[in-house]
C-alpha cells in the first residue's frame, strides 16, 4: 500500500468524516481498516477517498464517505447484531458493517453488482457476509428477523413491510423523502411501538420499488 494511499485514507477520516461529528472510535477504525479503494469501480479508483458519490451502474451510486460514516455511527453496532442490508452496491458499507456486527445478509437486485461485491468481500476475507441476488422491496418475502435493517439507497417512505423483520429492540435505517430534500432516519422498535429519529439531510438515488408514486399532470 503506497504512502499516498494511506495519507488519502487518513485525510478522508480526519478531514471529511470526523468533522461531520462521526466520533465513535470503532466506526473510525472500521473506515480506516476496510480498504475503500478495493471496493470502488476501477475507473474511479483515483477518486476512492473523494468527498463525492461515485456512480456504480444502473443509476446507483456509492455513498460519500461522510454518509457512510454517519450511517455506521447511527447504527451503533456492538458486535452481536444480525444485519440485513438492502442494496449491496460495491460492498464497502457491507464490509464496514460486517467488521462491526456479528453477520450481514446483503440483498442486491442487480446480478453484476452482487457478483462483484461478493468477489470483493471474499478477497477481503469477510466470512460473516452473505450476498444474495434479489429484489428485497419487490415480491420477495422472508421469515427471517434481524437486529438491524439498512436501506442502501433512497425510499419515498419507510417500507412498512420491513418493520415485521426487525426484532424487538432493533432498528431500521433509511434515507426517505422526495429528492432533492431527503432525510436520513433511524426507526427503533420497542415492542409493538416505534420511535423515529431524524439524523441528517442528503439526496441519494431511490431503490427499485421505493420511488415516489407517479403523479399525473395534464
Tell me how far apart the alpha carbons of residues 208 and 4 are, in angstroms, rounded to a whole number. Answer: 38
Nearest CA among 95, 100, 8, 84 for reference residue 45? 8
Q: Are strands 54-57 and 60-62 parallel, antiparallel or unpaired?
A: antiparallel
Mean of the per-residue pLDDT values of the chain: 94
Set of cell numbers at residue 216: 399525473
pLDDT tens column, 61-118:
999 999 999 999 999 999 999 999 999 999 999 999 999 999 999 999 999 999 999 9
pLDDT band at 143 (very low <50, low <70, confident <90, very high): confident
Query: What domains are there in the chain, each with its CATH number?
Result: 3-202 (3.40.50.150)
Q: How many other CB atoms are found less than 10 A from the CB of residue 177?
A: 19
> What pLDDT does residue 127 have?
96
Q: Are strands 103-108 and 82-86 parallel, antiparallel or unpaired?
A: parallel
Tell me how far apart the alpha carbons of residues 39 and 68 are, in angstroms, rounded to a whole number. Answer: 13
Amino acid at each position: 500500500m503506497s504512502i499516498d494511499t494511506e495519507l488519502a485514507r487518513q485525510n478522508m477520516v480526519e478531514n471529511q468524516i470526523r468533522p461531520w461529528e462521526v466520533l465513535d472510535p470503532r466506526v473510525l477504525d472500521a473506515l480506516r481498516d476496510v480498504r475503500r479503494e478495493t471496493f470502488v469501480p476501477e475507473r474511479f479508483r483515483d477518486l476512492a477517498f473523494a468527498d463525492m458519490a461515485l456512480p456504480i451502474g444502473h443509476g446507483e451510486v456509492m455513498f460519500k464517505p461522510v454518509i457512510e460514516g454517519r450511517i455506521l455511527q447511527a447504527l451503533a453496532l456492538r458486535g452481536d447484531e444480525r444485519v440485513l442490508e438492502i442494496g449491496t452496491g460495491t460492498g464497502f458499507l457491507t464490509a464496514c458493517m460486517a467488521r462491526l456486527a456479528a453477520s450481514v445478509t446483503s440483498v442486491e437486485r442487480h446480478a453484476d453488482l452482487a457478483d462483484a461485491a461478493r468477489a470483493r468481500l471474499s478477497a477481503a476475507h469477510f466470512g460473516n457476509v452473505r450476498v444474495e441476488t434479489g429484489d428485497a422491496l419487490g415480491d420477495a418475502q422472508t421469515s427471517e428477523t434481524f437486529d438491524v435493517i439498512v436501506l442502501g439507497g433512497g425510499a419515498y417512505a419507510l417500507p412498512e413491510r420491513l418493520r415485521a423483520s426487525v426484532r424487538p429492540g432493533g432498528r431500521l435505517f433509511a434515507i426517505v423523502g422526495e429528492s432533492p430534500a431527503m432525510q436520513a432516519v433511524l426507526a427503533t422498535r420497542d415492542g409493538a411501538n416505534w420511535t423515529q429519529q431524524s439524523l441528517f439531510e442528503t439526496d441519494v438515488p431511490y431503490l427499485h420499488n421505493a420511488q415516489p408514486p407517479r403523479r399525473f399532470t395534464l
